Amino acid sequence: MAAEKIILDAGERSLEIPTGLFINNEFLPSHTGDTLDTLNPATGEKLATVSAASKHDIDAAVEAAKLAFKSWKDTLPTTRQALLLKLADLIERDAEDLAALEALDGGILLSQSSGMHIPNATATLRYFAGWADKIDGRSINIPTGIAYTRREPIGVCAAIVPWNAPLVVTIWKLAPCLVAGNTLIIKSSELTPLYGIKLAMLTKEAGFPPGVVNILAGLGPVAGQALAEHMEVRKVAFTGSVLTGRSILKAAAASNLKKVTLELGGKGPTIIFNDADFDNAVLWASVGITAHNGQICAAGSRIYVQEGIYENFIAAFKEASQKAILGDPLLATTTKGPIVSATQHANIMSYIEKGKQEGARLLHGGAVPSDGSQSVENTAFVDVGEDMTIMKEEIFGPVAAIAKFKTEDEVIEKANNTEYGLSSAIFTNDISRAHRISNALECGQVTVNAWGTLNPNLPFGGVKQSGYGRDMGEESLDGWTVVKAVSYNMLPPQ
């Protein structure tokens, strides 16, 4: 039985999408009839009711992916390449629809989705399409003859993706997974399921065979747990919280020791030296903590400023980060949208209160919204101590913790004083200093004189409790392939 369709009002456009689970190229209701409501964070109103995957539905998706893998792994590289390129073209064609769905469902600014997320998604598909016929092994000299290695697909894989940048993070996993010859089950977040339904429509239109891509909305403790525990799933890629990452690792260990890659939280340092281009540093430091309301794992939430420019920086940062225009994320004039959910909103406000209680000086923001909305003012605390909660824990909101430093050694120690290690930014006009600090920082990404640079050919991922494995770049293919060694005995008979 096919799933029902709904029509969504997205301002100047209406969007018709199915409400079912995408399994084996068909939209189906959940086997158990389970559903979930997705809300518009800008209004708090229900957008839609969609099917929620049960364990039975995960089993069905795995069976479809397992059957499809038998032929997909041997599909010509040029065919896989053509399908990825076609999907990129279709996403580009329907970019306005996808951007509207992210705005409605996740409170993501239309301009951010259409201007950054979708271009990165299509560029990532095209980048990995180019790898289709280049996933090679190597020849090796051995004493007994000759040997070579093959990089082969893993099999049935799963991707559990977040709500904060749903389309682009999904593509970061889908593109290398499929080009390597694997089949994939995507679990979209219960907070942002609508983009996944639209993406499923496009994968079918692009011509991917049934079962190669399956997309299911569902709750983490149900659908996500079922994927992590499934004996036929050979790999799980996860982007999200440290707590959930730990549970996935436990489930993988307790089941079939499936391969796991994790991109988890962050508490990124932004380091600004006296000799930095001042206006550039202020701009990027502000963007680094306010973009998408700071609901970004790579957010520059700890800002360390050298003492010679500290007071001037504070004044300029306050002015820059208070320019936000709060409003409907579908409107081009809006520069600040809502927090994704009431739960997340309450969590951010609790951290702001902790900052006040622990004695950090409030520079601006931090007020409880008088209209009861899910909005949070861009907020900054200054003179924040290393032992304060807002300096140590990931807030996932537009809350900056700013502190002063004197020397390179001091700021390196402070920047590395965290269990996270995802992203960081350095602002200086001294190239030697930038090199020294970059080498000393314990993180997976360093951006010099900017914040959060992302490119499809540049690997992205973390160290320490920010996880392991990489999205994007050639390095990400390691997470979607296994290496087989083949050797030939060429010695004459004894």
Catalytic residues: 263, 297
Structure tokens at 432: 């030697």
Nearest CA to 300 among 271, 258, 268? 268
Q: What contacts 39, CB < 8 A, 6 or more positions away?
A: 45, 46, 47, 341
Strand-pair partners of 261: 237
Give, as one character, the DSSP assignment of residue 225: H
Rounded to a whole number of angstroms, the distance between the first and last alpha carbons of the chain is 67
> Exposed, middle or buried, 243 (CB in 10 Å: 0-12/13-18/19+)?
exposed
**Are the CB atoms for 116 and 214 separated by under 8 Å?**
no
Q: How far, CA to CA in Å, does 490 sit from each of 138, 139, 144, 265?
A: 18, 15, 6, 51
Q: Which residue from 264, 274, 266 is spatially nearest to 304, judged by alpha carbons? A: 274
The tokens for 179 are 């080009």
Cβ–Cβ < 8 Å for 334, 299: no
Q: How many CA within 13 A on the CB side of residue 383?
A: 8
Locate 468 and state its tokens: 């392991």
- In 3D space, the residue among 41, 37, 34, 110 whose CA is nearest the CA of residue 343 turns out to be 41
Tokens representing residue 239 in the block: 């982007």
Residue length of the chain: 494
Q: How many angstroms separate the CA atoms of 195 and 354, rounded? A: 35
Q: Which residues contact 246 (CB under 8 A, 6 or more apart)?
A: none
Distance of CA 174 to the CA centre of its chain: 12
Phi, psi of 17 (to 5 degrees): -140, 155
